[in-house]
Structure 1
């Protein structure tokens, strides 16, 4: 007497079934990563640039670089 009959393993369509499951999972994980990047990196970076350029004075930066001797073709006021 046998203790019980084992069910036959599914062979037909197994790859398609597993691929469907893994593709849906990969898509969900990739959407999560995109959302984390957008709200964790891109938005704070855009906000930081906006705050920096809100009060940016290009002429003041130019004068500071000129006084520091960054430019070779522009003499500082003391020379």
Structure 2
């Protein structure tokens, strides 16, 4: 004897799958955004802050002027 196979339920299948996949997509995207912010963003902000604490713009300008980088400024 052969057993009768039940028909698959097709009504509402797309909506059910979309709800699941949209929820997963939003959850994963928020998790990735948070991990990028905490792992990369904060460390880069700290690196920039540390660089600009020691950075002297006038000294950098004088070094570039002495090297002849600028065309409109005469080197000393």
TM-score, normalising length from structure 1? 0.82
Measured in 1, the distance between the counterparts of 2:55 and 2:10 equals 67
Structure 1 equivalent of residue 70 of structure 2: 71
- Which 5+ residue runs of structure 2 have no aligned equivalent? none
- Which 5+ residue runs of structure 1 have no aligned equivalent? none
Structure 2 equivalent of residue 31 of structure 1: 30
Measured in 2, the distance between the counterparts of 1:28 and 1:58 equals 44
User: Offset of 1:16 from its aligned partner?
Assistant: 0.5
Question: Structure 1 stretches (4+) deviating beyond 4 angstroms?
Answer: none
User: Offset of 1:8 from its aligned partner?
Assistant: 2.9
**Are 2:16 and 1:17 equivalent residues in the alignment?**
yes
Q: Give the secondary structure class of the aligned counterpart of 1:10.
A: coil
User: Offset of 1:36 from its aligned partner?
Assistant: 2.1
Measured in 2, the distance between the counterparts of 1:38 and 1:62 equals 33
Structure 1 equivalent of residue 43 of structure 2: 44
User: Offset of 1:2 from its aligned partner?
Assistant: 4.2
Q: Give the secondary structure class of the aligned counterpart of 1:74.
A: coil
User: Offset of 1:41 from its aligned partner?
Assistant: 2.1
